[in-house]
Structure 1
Amino acid sequence: MNFSKKAQRIMFALWLLFVPAGTLLVYLYSPTKPGDWEGYGAFLLLALLSSIFPFFIAGTTFILVIWVQIAIFLKYGILAELISMQICMIPLVYHLKISRDTLFKYFYNSFMFFSLSILSGSLVIYLGYETGSIMLKDVIVYGSIFAISYLIINHLFLFMREYLCNMNPVFFSKDLYWEFACLFITLPFGLGLYLFENTTGTTALWLLGLPLLSITLLIRMYSDSEKVNADLNEASEFGHQLADRMTTNEILDMFLKRLSNMFPLNAGYIVDNIEDNFFVLRAREDGQNKELEFGHEDIKYSLAGKVYEKGEPILYNKQTEWNHMRPPFLADDMESVMCVPIYRNQKIEGVLILAARDKFAFEPYQLKIIHLLCSYFAVSLEKARYVREAVEKSEICELTKIYNYRYLDNQLKSDISKLNSGAYRTVSLIMMDIDKFKGVNDTYGHHSGNIILQEFANIIKQEIGSNGTVGRYGGEEFVVLLPNYSKLQALNVAEQLRRKIEQTPFIVPLDLGEITRDEIIFITASIGVSTAPEDSDEGMSLLRNADRALYIGAKQAGRNRVAEYVR
């Protein structure tokens, strides 16, 4: 939860305005003073021990100190309870991982608990409670009022804080319900502690306090294990989702995005190493993907390069631990950092770096989960590579090493779709057929025919380059797709191809006779051209139009010529 600088200043101003002066006023007008608080130290120690062991339920942190605070208030009054709660803020500083930059959280919580002590205590005193009363009815009624009002006012403060910070708060949230549940469990302990202490002295604190502290510790251990199990289950589900992704880009984007949702991080980076050259492959900062470019040397001699070299994951809780080897892409305000090597086939391929602005943002067990997820990640990338190679293989003509009909069909659909959406102005299609190719096979053999097909494909591919898509349509027929080429431009390209083919000598082995020798032959091609949307705005029609132009306008007209489709 991020707060603006203005909100932080307001929080500090509230503390400065109310807490020091308010505490002094309560001291001056309190009916009980520290000199009257015999045994207060034992209560204070129990309260501190209770605040040291928080636990988690349904994602909410609970610190069961209120049961001791009830007993302190009933026995010693508002001032004693106020001081006790402020002292119990010391463990809270640790649990909230408060640093110098987040010190405002301490001041706001101190102000909030000060206000809770004053408001709840004053309410109970106003209703008629006398400090130190041992009448059972008074203890139960006023102790319950103190605890319930404490809880409700606490949530009102939290609600108002989030409302003023435009965070869309919900008052009747699951946190409120869970806190009421915990209160109803611990309230009898607080009331019992007060009554029992009045009859047996400080022995009651240990007879009631130690069992409840033990139960709290067991609940915390259980909740910690549940949290670890929940993270492991989510990691397993995450691994399956990575495996379902078919492309490298999908895997990279999903990996960093899901990590941002699973862990309290502000930035994530995947550093790759190809041929001993480091670069940032993917970066995500504050929920947005970033394009970053940094020099190889800057990354190599930073934290990323060190972890790549050692091959061991590492966790840093604050900036002073890693600042001497700061990666060039990590912002100045980052504190906690996890750095994990990415292994594939027993070899380190790269490094994952996750960073957070808070100190001690990551738990040690999370480092192990990240390490596990990096294994899923590497396997998914390997699978994507195999899938990509398999798809490419299925779309490449094995003989000519250019695209086959399957790929051409998909590419033609894609180009026509872009034409219809306005991304392309035109799409031209050139269909080519080698003239009298059957005679070549009959005279020189099929092996020589295959050599000609390979050389023919190379000529087209070199001439077209990156301007279009070249594929083998079938047999001795070839297709060229030219997006954003007009019919006139496509006709010029086709004529250049025809001349190039006509002038190129093909060396083939003559191995059908008794003596094998190489011969030089020349071939020609007939070519048909069709353009969308001029001739058609549908892919198969465009193909048929070019085929019609080829056979009627070129083949039947004498071969070795270019013909355009005419309606």
Structure 2
Amino acid sequence: MISTLKKRLIWISYLVFSPLLFYIVYHFSPETPDFMTIEFSIFVVLSIIVALYPIQTEDTILFLINGVSLSTFVLFGLFAELVLTTLALIALMIRSNIKADEHYRYPLNLLMFQLLSVLSAGSYYLLNPYINPLSFYNHSLTLLVIYMFVHLIGNQLGLYVISRYYFRNKEIKLYDSHLKFSIITCLFTVPVSFILIYLVEELSIIGALIGAIPFVTITLGLNFFYKSKMNSTYLKKVNSLAKNLTEKKRRSEVIETYVKSLAQIFPVDALSYFTVSPEEELHRIVVYQETKGIETMKEAFLVNNQSILKQATWAKDILYFSRSSDWKKYCINDITYPAESALVLPVLSNNEVTELILLSHRTKNMYNDMIVSLIKILHQYFAVALDNAVYYEQLELNSETDYLTSLPNLKGFSKKLEEALAGSLESVSLIVMDLDRFKLTNDTYGHQAGNEILKQVARLLESSVISNQLVARYGGEEFVLLLPGYSKKEAGELAEGIRNQIDRHSFTISQSIQNTTSSSVSVTASLGVATYPEDAREADELITTADKAMYIGSKQKGRNRVTIAKKGSYQNAVKETS
């Protein structure tokens, strides 16, 4: 961001030097022909047409003013060329919708081009006595080529010096695509300029009109070519991203990839990602800003009914705006960063909006029809990838969840255990619990009654642990508890509390093979405790150790007790039989 002081210096420099340049050129230029003619008016109109149809590449805006300015310099003199260049530049900058905080670009560009015109003309006049001219209709081709060369190289050097040393842009290069483009366009604009000079001197007004046709044709042709080229570049990036999105399996990965790619492929200063509840309540979960990167959050977001976010939710379609006056007065809370252009992308699931993405840019008219159409294509890929990721996560969750108790099953538990042990520097304890004589319970009351008891045991165990702990159904009537950060002593105390709670609890069964009314059943449990890294170094070894403690130390010694594993033996913590 350029400082206020530098902006003021640019304006002061322009207000001082620009009038001075015009004065010096008008009074001291070697040749100042009368330029208040119809032919010159045609040249001015031609230069403005060229300016109104600039060639927009991925990183800059270019226009073919050099060819017109060269012809103007030869036919009407340097002062006329300064006037024409100034008018064309003003038209170009108005067409470009330069935002308010960058209005310093007006004086900067004007002064730079005015200095380039004087520098190019100066080289023409200084070298005129020393160069044996290769004549073209009473004009030196050599000097005209020198004029264009000085203008071309001077422009590139000026851009480099100002960007690097005034704006502190260290990424600027002396030779870049901008210079390459200028060299290529000079190869055919210079000959066209010579033709224009010839036609005007031979045919006057008719010649000016005929000579303007090639310039307009070249401008429109190159404009179309670069738009097509940019379109092709965007499509390649969109296809690459679409392939990348389909490879992501997690919803969070899909969203992160999409957000980053939108910011990399398309012009985006800032981006916000919202979730939308069935009641149309918004929560912002991701914010991207060009200067800060991606930030995740979870914040409630209040908007009024005139907000573009609300409008997109109701419309269920992409909305885009060219300038802040069209939308920002209704969206005080939508974004807090500077923005002119805005684009809202609704994400639909079952024909309902479940998420919203808000893109913005500080430049007006940034989201044209071409960009919007490409974003629509990419957004469709994103919606499919997001649905696939949600479906995949649901399948994975189902495969890791016990259908009866809704607890994690062996697969889900094993994954969590591996994660807990991976690089852990603290104790991780495990409790394995098995309900005593549960086969007899099933045989007495029926399997449906046994299932009811298992569900109630699952809820009881869930109520015994805190957020970072895990309860899982290990299989049959066996359960397991994962306790990160728990010492062996703490795990043993928790295990005893669970054993005592189950022992004293009456489990209600509504379906029994013995009767049709509800009845209460009592069960007991045997538990084994093992701790990482004291008892085991690997996940499987830790499970085996806790399992052996439960079977050998508790089951075989009377049941309804807790056994804490020790190296080489098993120790009963508290023995309490019913």
Same-fold call, TM cutoff 0.5: yes
* Structure 1 residue 146, shift from structure 2 partner: 0.5
- Aligned AA (1:13): I
Q: How far does residue 181 in structure 1 lie from its aligned partner after superposition?
A: 0.9
Name the counterpart of 1:8: 7
CA contact (8 A) 2:302 2:333 kept: no
Q: 1:278 aligns with which of 271, 278, 282?
A: 282
Partner of 1:227: 230
Which whole-Å CA distance do the structure 2 matches of 1:332 and 1:385 have between them?
32
Q: Which has the higher helix share?
A: 1
Residue 250 of structure 1 corresponds to: 253
Listed one character per residue, the Cα deviations across residues 485-505 of structure 1 (whole Å, up to 9, x for unaligned) are 111111111001111121223
Distance 1:343 1:520 in 2: 49
Amino acid aligned to 1:177: K
Q: Does residue 218 of structure 1 match 2:221? A: yes
* Distance (whole Å) between structure 1 residues aligned to residue 382 and residue 231 of structure 2: 20
Match of 1:383 in 2: 388
Is the CA contact (8 Å cut-off) linking 2:54 and 2:92 kept in structure 1? no
Q: In terms of mean alpha carbon deviation, does 433-442 or 524-533 score higher?
A: 433-442
2:343 maps to 1:324: no
* Distance in 1 between residues matched to 2:342 and 2:391, nearest whole Å: 33
Q: Does 1:410 align with 2:415?
A: yes
Q: 1:99 to 1:506 in 2, by over 3 A?
A: closer
State the partner residue of 1:453: 454
Shift in Å, 1:189: 1.0
1:444–1:509 CA contact under 8 A, matched in 2: no
Partner amino acid, structure 2, of 1:243: T
Counterpart code for 2:293: Q
Query: Which residue identity lines up with residue 278 of structure 1 in the other structure?
Result: L
TM-score norm. by structure 2 comes to: 0.89
- For residues 316-365 of structure 1, the C-alpha deviation after alignment (integer angstroms, 9 at most, x for no partner) is 22222223302414236322222343333222334332222222222133
Match of 1:171 among 174, 193, 216: 174
Question: How many angstroms apart in 1 are the aligned matches of 2:413 and 2:420?
Answer: 10
Instruction: Label 1:291 to 1:391 Cα distance change in 2 as closer, same or farther (>3 A).
Output: closer
Distance 1:310 1:509 in 2: 50
Could you say which residue in structure 2 is the equivalent of 1:473? Answer: 474
Residues 303 and 331 of structure 2 are in contact (CA less than 8 Å); yes or no, is this contact kept in structure 1? Answer: no
Aligned counterpart in structure 1 of residue 268 of structure 2, from 265, 277, 287: 265
- Deviation string, structure 1 residues 247-287 (Cα, Å, up to 9, x no partner): 22222222222222222222112333213222323322234
| One-letter amino acid of the counterpart of residue 69, structure 1 | S
Amino acid at match of 1:189: V
Q: 1:245 to 1:365 in 2, by over 3 A?
A: same
Distance in 2, Cα, partners of 1:126 & 1:53: 35
Q: State the superposition RMSD in angstroms.
A: 2.7
Pairwise CA distance, 1:245 = 2.3
Q: What's 1:525 paired with?
A: 525
Number of residue pairs matched by the alignment: 559
- Larger displacement relative to structure 2 (539-548 or 8-17): 8-17
> In percent, how many aligned pairs have the same letter?
27
1:129 and 1:138 in contact (8 A); partners too = no
Q: Secondary structure at the match of 2:406?
A: coil
Which secondary structure state, in structure 2, belongs to the residue aligned with residue 463 of structure 1?
Answer: coil
Q: Which amino acid aligns with 2:406?
A: K
1:402–1:470 contact (8 Å) kept in structure 2: yes
- Alignment partner for residue 203 of structure 2, among 200, 203, 208? 200
For the Cα contact (< 8 Å) 2:57–2:230, is it kept in 1? Answer: no
Q: What TM-score comes out, normalization by structure 1 length?
A: 0.91
Q: How far 1:465 sits from its partner (Å)? A: 4.7
Cα distance in structure 2, aligned partners of 1:510 and 1:58:
72
Q: Distance in 1 between matches of 2:477 and 2:96?
A: 73
C-alpha contact (below 8 Å) 2:35/2:80 kept by paired residues: no
Amino acid at match of 1:17: V
Q: Secondary structure at the match of 1:342?
A: strand
CA gap 1:400/1:349 in 2 versus in 1, 3 angstroms? closer
2:146 maps to 145
Are the counterparts in 1 of residues 345 and 357 from structure 2 also a CA contact under 8 Å? yes
Q: Which moved more, 1:387-396 or 1:460-469?
A: 460-469
Would the aligned equivalents of 1:279 and 1:299 in 2 still touch at CA under 8 Å?
no
